[in-house]
Amino acid sequence: MSQKTTSPVSQASPPPSGRILLVEDDETFRSLMADILDEAGHQVVEAADGVAALRRLQAESFDLVLSDLKMPRMGGIELFQACRRAPAAPPFVLITAFGTVEEAVAAMKDGVSDFLTKPLKDPASLRALVARLVAERQRQRPMLPLDQQEIAGLPPLAILFAGQAMAEVRRLAGEVASTETTVLIDGESGTGKELLARYLHLTSPRQAGPYVAVNCAAIPDTLLESELFGHERGAFTGATSSRQGRFELASGGTILLDEIGEMPLPMQAKLLRVLQEHSFQRVGGNRELRANVRVLAATNRDLAKESAAGRFRDDLFYRLHVFPLTLPPLRDRRDALDALVHFFLERHTRAMGKPALTISPQALKALRAYPWPGNIRELQNVLERAAILARGEVTVEQLPPLLQPGPGPAREGAGGILKEAEQAMILAALKATDGNRRLAAERLGISRRTLQYRLKDYGLGEEG
């Protein structure tokens, strides 16, 4: 059997890159280590002490923690002990001065992976140690229990709740999940409202029951009542047999009424009765059926404003607004962006059967600079496109034109040059599709609703 001859260079695989949390109170030494790791291709997140590091660990996923032993507020040993209690905790390396090596060696008996001494005499030893531990971590990740990676289709909780802006949402969700209370989840389109609803169901006493999601905006007004409550045979033309509605199908579990702000006023009155009396009738029937369901609702509209404008019933709003949870937009979760980027790239490449991808610093910078009007859904779409086009590394060239930096001053936030560029791209997409907003949204990699919001924000046309 003949073998293809290749050069040693082509045979060598590049060292694995990972997300590293570097915890060190000495800013000069921390900067030196960060530069070494950054040059080796790792994504480095820095923290000045254990308390700040613990907050990052609770909100984000890392492949490795490098922590100083002695720090104010919380030292390395205390951080390790707090970190190890989390599911799928990353490997932990202590950084110690020569006088405290014995403490670091003792900590290895409790599960610390290794230790480094400072001052760092050999950058190569740091690179080798990190490469080895990151590679081990990435080999072990597929063998973690399923409930620690993805629960019934949910992303890992460190991804679902990534970013400091999500810390309070996670706390409140944990408090309300075990109750029967109606929860109203609001936030812009694409922020993950349905995922949060599924999380509430899966962490509730009803987790063994069905979870039924209904998109109120996707069902014609004339069919919505039948869809929710079912109908009896002969209730209307075409009703040749009785049919269960979504409330019956969700019995014993949870129902999510997504896009509830789109529900017509007559249906709002009927839903209010269900929430108050926990019973309903099928269309064309007179038998009372028990609504043994927990109701969650989601909306990207401001229901308080909709209520004040007469487009949403006051009494239903107050009934739904018992326990509101507001999901922040992606632009307010900038500290989570790197973690989300790496998670989605890994997910897309795995689904496509492609080798793992890295991302260039320039591409990552472009993603960080963009305001993400379509939120996490838009980010997912952009990275899926990039994963298809990339070969080994995602570069700026694989990003949509809207995200590619242009000549002139640097883009800042959602204003200035970036805002002008976004307007120009939207107008170009509309022109290319002869004004078809659905096709223009697909061309831009955002939802049609997001496109409509941007058009309204920029005064480029009314929603339609």
**CB-CB neighbours of 243 under 10 Å:** 17
Do 202 and 238 lie in a common domain? yes
User: Any bridge partners for residue 68, and if so which?
Assistant: 95
The number of CA neighbours under 13 Å toward the Cβ of 84 is 15
* In-domain check, residue 107: yes
**Domain containing residue 70: CATH number:** 3.40.50.2300
* In-domain check, residue 3: no
* In-domain check, residue 165: yes
Amino acid letter, 330: L
CA-derived radius of gyration, the chain: 26
Do 130 and 201 lie in a common domain? no
Do 134 and 211 lie in a common domain? no
- How many residues belong to the chain? 464
Distances (CA, A) of 37 to 42, 44, 112, 280, 304: 6, 7, 20, 61, 49
* In-domain check, residue 7: no
* In-domain check, residue 56: yes
* In-domain check, residue 360: yes
Do 237 and 114 lie in a common domain? no
Count the domains in the chain.
Answer: 3
Do 310 and 174 lie in a common domain? yes
pLDDT tens string for the chain (464 positions)? 434 333 333 334 455 667 899 999 988 889 899 889 888 878 788 898 888 888 777 656 678 999 998 888 888 888 888 877 655 678 999 888 766 677 767 777 778 888 888 888 788 889 989 988 988 876 665 444 434 444 556 788 888 999 999 999 999 998 999 899 999 999 998 999 999 999 999 888 888 788 899 999 888 888 898 889 988 887 777 777 888 889 988 888 999 999 999 999 999 999 999 999 888 888 888 888 888 899 999 999 999 999 999 999 999 999 999 999 999 999 999 999 999 999 999 888 888 888 888 999 999 999 998 989 889 999 999 999 999 999 989 999 999 888 876 543 333 444 444 566 667 778 877 877 778 887 777 667 666 667 777 787 767 764 43
Do 204 and 349 lie in a common domain? no
User: Of the residues 146, 175, 199, which one is the last residue of a structural domain?
Assistant: 146
Closest listed residue to residue 239, CA positions, set 291, 270, 279, 282: 282
Please tell me the predicted confidence (pLDDT) of residue 15: 57
User: Of the residues 84, 118, 146, which one is the last residue of a structural domain?
Assistant: 146
Do 303 and 255 lie in a common domain? yes
* In-domain check, residue 6: no
Please tell me the predicted confidence (pLDDT) of residue 183: 97
Do 322 and 183 lie in a common domain? yes
Please tell me the predicted confidence (pLDDT) of residue 86: 59
**Domain containing residue 220: CATH number:** 3.40.50.300
Please tell me the predicted confidence (pLDDT) of residue 331: 92
Do 142 and 187 lie in a common domain? no
Please tell me the predicted confidence (pLDDT) of residue 144: 41
Please tell me the predicted confidence (pLDDT) of residue 302: 92
User: Of the residues 270, 295, 326, which one is the last residue of a structural domain?
Assistant: 326
392 exposure class (CB count in 10 Å sphere: 0-12, 13-18, 19+): exposed
* In-domain check, residue 5: no
Could you tell me if 403 and 366 are in contact, meaning their C-beta atoms sit under 8 angstroms apart? yes
**Domain containing residue 363: CATH number:** 1.10.8.60
Euclidean distance between the first and the last CA atom of the chain, given in angstroms as a whole number: 65
Do 309 and 347 lie in a common domain? no
Do 60 and 108 lie in a common domain? yes
Please tell me the predicted confidence (pLDDT) of residue 270: 92
Do 163 and 261 lie in a common domain? yes
What domain range includes position 72?
A: 14-146
